[in-house]
Structure 1
Amino acid sequence: MRWDVTTWAVLALALIAAETLAPGAFLLWMGFAAAAMLLLVLLLPGLPLLAQVALFVVLSFLSVQVYRRWFRGRGRQSDRPLLNRRAEQNIGLVAPLEQAIVAGRGRIKVGDAFWTVEGPDLPAGTLVRVVAADGAILKVQEA
């Protein structure tokens, strides 16, 4: 059994297995590069160690670039993109002011929650429309 074939096989399996412990797809692609090196040393049995390491570095770089360019960020699109962004779900909502807007700040009630709002000074009870969200503060204008 050749040491270089065994080394690249073990390295490929170890990198691919390590991906399960540190998700992010980085180690997976380096594992693919090690698997490609395994095939290269099988096809070219006299390849010097320095050349093998240099090729592995180049293949690792290329495989990670392939991942970054073509696979990263191409996940499944959500049918509810605002699911975990509660403030943004309220954009377009029309509601009466619970507390008058004084010095640019007031409060509205949405469902069973109170939200701080910012906008022009208006008396309590005025209907306002949510036009934007900044963190947990809703930006409003008179409806």
Structure 2
Amino acid sequence: MSLIERLFLELGPWNWWILGLLLLGLEILAPGAVFLWFGVSAILVGTLALFVELHWQTALVIFLVLSIVCLVVGRFLMSRLSSEKGDIGLNRRGSRYVGRVFVLMAPLSEGTGKLSIDDTVWRVVGPDLPTGTRVRVTGVHGARLAVEAAEAEDIELPT
């Protein structure tokens, strides 16, 4: 009998715990929440094997069934928990300004101009408008914001 076979037999149910920890460690190296559920299943089988004597075939079947159940339930729970889309404008900065009203610091002439928002100067496209006009951002075209004159109901009054 080889050393590995003897060690495997002597450890008994702890083999499942070792396998579970190895799978959890593999999850750290290759994230994706797949090995996580296999690792949890192995630890559960190891815990069950501590209290109930299981043949290796029975333990393997329990492990496979638990793995599938944990994988399906875990994926479902993770999709429910991460249902928020997050910041949809994260990689499209200009999209955060759509619908907001700003004041032109320079006139729009020949359909183009500049608009200062916070600490950034944006190129804007829209109808010719004089300096000081309140404009509403209607869209984003590449690195330019599309604007139009804001209507009375668009203008927010200071409180």
TM-score range, shorter chain: 0.5 to 0.7
Once the 2 structures are TM-superposed, how far is the Cα of residue 63 of structure 1 from its aligned partner? 0.9
More helix by share: 2
Structure 1 position 111 matched with structure 2 position 121? no
2:25 maps to 17
Q: Pick one of 53, 70, 77 that aligns with 2:77.
A: 70
Looking at structure 2, the residues matched to 101 and 114 of structure 1 have their Cα atoms a distance apart, in angstroms, of 16
Q: Structure 1 CA distance, aligned partners of 2:65 and 2:144?
A: 49
- Give, in whole Å, the separation in 2 of the partners of 1:29 and 1:142: 55
Q: Give the TM-score of the pair, scaled to structure 1.
A: 0.66
Match of 1:61 among 68, 71, 79: 68
Distance 1:53 1:14 in 2: 17
TM-score by length of 2: 0.61
Letter in 2 for 1:32: V
Partners in 1 of 2:95 and 2:125 — Cα distance? 15
- 1:133: how far off? 4.3
Structure 1, unaligned runs of 5 or more: none
Alpha carbons of 1:16 and 1:97: their partners in 2 closer, same or farther (altered >3 Å)?
A: same
Q: Distance in 2 between matches of 1:135 and 1:44?
A: 66
Q: Secondary structure at the match of 1:34?
A: helix
| Contact 1:98–1:124 (8 Å) recurs in 2 | yes
Find the partner of 2:36 among 28, 31, 48: 28
> Could you say what the CA RMSD is over the residues aligned between the two structures, in angstroms?
3.5
Shift of 1:101: 5.8
- Judging changes above 3 Å, is the alpha-carbon distance between structure 1 residues 93 and 22 closer, same or farther for their aligned structure 2 residues? farther
User: 1:45 aligns to what?
Assistant: 54
Whole-Å Cα distance in 2 between the matches of residues 95 and 66 of structure 1?
51
Matched, 1:90 2:121: no
Deviation at 1:15, TM superposition (A): 1.6
Letter in 2 for 1:12: G
Equivalents in 1 of 2:142, 2:48: separation in Å? 53
Report if the CA contact (8 A) 2:101-2:134 is conserved.
no
Q: CA deviation at 1:25?
A: 3.3
What SS does structure 2 have at the residue aligned with 1:20? helix
- Aligned pairs for 1:126-137 (under 5 A) are 126-133=133-140, 136-137=143-144
Choose 1 or 2 for highest CA Rg: 2
Deviations 1:42-66 (A, max 9, x none): 4242242xx5444433322221221
Q: Aligned equivalents of 1:70 and 1:21: distance in 2?
A: 22
How far does residue 70 in structure 1 lie from its aligned partner after superposition?
A: 1.8
